Amino acid sequence: MTLRTLFVMDPLDRINVAGDSTYMLMLEARRRGWPVWFTTPNDLFAKAGRCFARASRVEVERGPQPFRVEPAIELDLGDVDVVWMRKDPPFDMEYIFSTYLLELVPPSTQVFNRPSSLRDDNEKIITLRYPELIVPTLITRDIRRAVAFAQEAPDRIVMKPWDGNGGRGVLVSHKGDANLKSMFELLSADGKAAIIVQRYIPEIVLGDKRVILVDGEPIAGMLRVPQPGDHRGNMHAGAIVEPCALSDRDREICAAIAPHLKAAGHLFVGIDIIGGWLTEINVTSPTGIQEMNRLYGISLESIVTDAVATRFAALEPQS
């Protein structure tokens, strides 16, 4: 099976091939002999009710010249078999606009993850569907309500922007902090922007566990251990990656969210678990392929690409 594949992603000159997961998916597609194109969200456009892109075919390899790019052409996305939406956050209106265009792609082309579900399933807010899996959480613009939540918390609290990423804007405080109200004012832009306030999970010092799921099934996990003096388990914030086993609680969480992930068309997902509590369900551009490959000697990109091929095999008419 040969599947023509287009990656909607950040510009290639911004890609850090030493740690990028999209690069690994591109490498695997070329290893299988699949033609690969790339484009950026800015190069998507629509006409006559169909989605097009100004896209370039690209050869992908390991080494000092990872990408060899052909001149760009106008490509009807209905002329490829697979489209990967792999644009990194921020998840802003430009990102949302791209999902509108990608919904014009005909059903014969598979888009991962599904554009409508990327819009619907915000990575932090989607966890509210599963109150039994998360710590007490408040989302509000009301500074007085946020202060009251902190006053009722038995220990510290975490506050963060609802649309943040990479650990940006994550703060830890407590009800006795004289700066507490001021911190809420800053994060919420004086009540104009919604913020998330949660009970602090002390097990963060042991690591923030990233679990990769493919078509709803957990494949592997890793701990991202914060640097001393930091509370953020994000690799962007300098967290150190360590191997870990999946616990019974981890598998319970995965089993609880799997039906929605499958129904929503989320093929490749990374969830975050701290101390047995679900904190995020990352569906936009999950990372961790290269880190987990090194930790466990596996090929996550092959597992993900096998799942893509399986989807297409199921679509083929049976003789």
Q: Tell me: pLDDT of 319 over 60.
A: no
Q: Where are the domains of the chain?
A: 5-118, 136-200, 203-282
Whole-number pLDDT of residue 271: 98
At the fourth CATH level, which superfamily is domain 136-200? ATP-grasp fold, A domain (3.30.1490.20)
Task: Let me know if the fold of 5-118 is the same as that of 136-200.
Answer: no
pLDDT one-digit tens code per residue, 186-237: 999 999 999 999 999 999 999 999 999 999 999 999 999 998 877 777 776 6
Q: Which residue has the tokens 């040969």?
A: 2
**Which of these, 53, 42, 58, 54, lies nearest to 105 by C-alpha position?**
53
Residues annotated as catalytic (active site), given as ranges: 124, 160, 210, 224, 232, 272, 280, 282
Instruction: Please provide residue 73's backbone torsions phi and psi, each rounded to the nearest 5 degrees.
Output: -130, 165
Whole-number pLDDT of residue 276: 98
**Span 69-80, average pLDDT:** 98
- Does pTM surpass 0.75? yes
Whole-number pLDDT of residue 316: 67
**Which of these, 208, 212, 308, lies nearest to 269 by C-alpha position?**
212
Q: Which fold has domain 203-282?
A: D-amino Acid Aminotransferase; Chain A, domain 1 (3.30.470)
Q: Which fold has domain 5-118?
A: Rossmann fold (3.40.50)
C-beta neighbour count of 136 within 10 angstroms = 13
pLDDT one-digit tens code per residue, 99-125: 999 999 999 999 999 999 999 999 999
Q: Which residue has the tokens 């919420």?
A: 188
- The pLDDT-based confidence of 156 (bands split at 50, 70, 90) is very high
- The pLDDT-based confidence of 185 (bands split at 50, 70, 90) is very high
